[in-house]
Amino acid sequence: MTLKLYNTLTRKKETFKPIHKGKVGMYVCGPTIYNYIHIGNLRAYLIADILRRVLKFNKYNVKEIMNLTDVDDKTIRDSQKQNKSLKEFTAIYEKGFLEDIKLMNLEMPEKMPKATEHINEMVEIIKKLLDKKIAYKTEDGIYFSIRKFKDYGKLSKIKLKKLKTRARIMKDEYDKQNVNDFALWKFYTEEDGDVFWETELGKGRPGWHIECSAMSMKYLGKHFDIHTGGEDLIFPHHENEIAQSECATGKKYVNYWLHNGWVLVNNKKMSKSLGNFYNLRDIIEQGYSAFDLRYFYLTKNYRQRFNFTWQNLKSSKIALQRLKNIISEIKDDKNGRHRHIPKGHENLFEAPKNFRKKFLQGANEIYLKEFEKAINDDLNTPKALQVLWNFVRDEKAEGKLKTIKKMDEVFGLDLLKKEKIEIPKGVKKLVKEREDARKKKNWKKADELRNKIKKLGFSVEDVEEKSVVRIKKV
């Protein structure tokens, strides 16, 4: 079934066609590591993860590159405030980001390059732009002349003639005389402290936009398939990436641009001053898991703006637990028992073809086709979740465990992973009393104890001589 993606560049849904058959080069705009990332950033990385999984579902070999911005105004400013070296400071938040990735069950990109390790590549691009007279020097740096690129604005649909003068000029980002021209290289000032590089361009540091062009093209080539990010990056960041990359190489930069909508909190923009600025640690402190947040984000189309409320997150937590409860009661497939998955082959899309084919024999092709139709329609996760819910509730459906396993390779919710239940001592005591009552055939007392256990949020099932305790269905 054909994979279709909404391309920001053309403003329409298109059939995906890779540059190289069976292979996909994909660049994800990663975090600026000067703080813990907020839940809006997390949505962008989750959507990139879903895209990666869907591409693999469609049997593509994916090479994903996600950058780490470890030098810019914010990293320099905040490292100086904490009296730390840039490397020491950014290492703290790099570690935090990697922890978030793991908790959110995001698959690791093939490469996560850092800006500070790719200064030479940036210098080479800037030299080419200077040679072509598309870039120019001023007293404080080297800038890109956007009027030298006739297609400027093709991603954001901003018309160059109508581009308004910026009311507020960002420090170290735009030329103070030609306020729409952006910085490629900033010459050293005392404010930068010990953050600088001695290069052919002069002593200084890179501008923000040039970093992504250098890292993406080094690992994916001058022309690659997909670039992702939040809608806030369309202009100016991604617009500037296109301009500097295509002027330097003379080639088209990227074929498909995918952007996710913002995350609002109670229909307001996230802001520390409003007290609605949350990261994953805040979510967990409130008693929710990263999987609850992952499920929450899957319930809405990625291109739409997402309104976060604690009540809606609670509803998703309940829904996910209910889904897992239903799945936990599926004891075997009607079309054969669930085969053991050998260690190292947990991801079926990366398993050898002969094993994958054997394992998936008996999977429910009817529901899988419905799932594929939904997920291949521009990553329609709400519709795909609906297919999954219909499937697990269908008592006549066959091949359930195999089919759930395959669907969950896209969702990434660990639906078949057994959860370790922490049973309180009080509940264990009641279970023991109930087992004793059953042995004495005191059924009335056994029923009374079962009800007490139920009121504490647990259920107990009798399996031969033993009692099995489960979390009560929500």
Q: pLDDT, tens digit, for every residue of 403-456?
A: 999 999 999 999 999 876 667 788 888 888 998 888 888 989 888 988 888 877
* 134 vs 175, more confident: 134
Distances (CA, A) of 245 to 127, 171, 227, 252: 12, 23, 13, 8
pLDDT score of 424: 79
Q: Is 468 helix (H, G, I), strand (E, B) or coil?
A: strand
pLDDT score of 472: 53
Distances (CA, A) of 2 to 21, 49, 178, 375, 423: 14, 19, 46, 10, 47
Residue 320: pLDDT over 90: yes
Residue 464: pLDDT over 70: no
pLDDT score of 169: 42
pLDDT score of 276: 86
pLDDT score of 205: 97
* 363 vs 216, more confident: 216
Across 213-222, 307-316, 341-350, least confident range: 341-350
pLDDT score of 43: 98
Across 122-126, 159-163, 441-445, least confident range: 159-163
pLDDT score of 429: 87
pLDDT score of 132: 98
Average pLDDT for 6-13: 98
CA-wise closest residue to 173 among 164, 160, 182: 182
Dist CA 370 CA 387 (whole Å): 7
Residue 172: pLDDT over 90: no
CA-wise closest residue to 50 among 386, 374, 430, 455: 374
CB atoms closer than 10 angstroms to residue 17: 11
Which ranges in the chain are annotated with CATH 3.40.50.620?
4-260
pLDDT score of 168: 41
Give the tens place of pLDDT for each residue, 68-90: 999 999 999 999 999 999 999 99
Residue 257: pLDDT over 70: yes
pLDDT score of 469: 59
Share of the chain residues as helix, strand and coil, in percent rounded to the nearest 5: 45, 20, 35
Burial tier of 21 (Cβ tally within 10 Å: 0-12, 13-18, 19+): exposed
Residue 167: pLDDT over 50: no
CATH 1.10.132.20 fits 4-260, yes or no: no
Q: What share of the chain has pLDDT > 70, as a percent?
A: 88
pLDDT score of 337: 38
Q: How confident is the model at residue 252 (pLDDT cuts 50, 70, 90)?
A: very high
Residue 51: pLDDT over 50: yes
Q: What is the pTM of this model?
A: 0.85
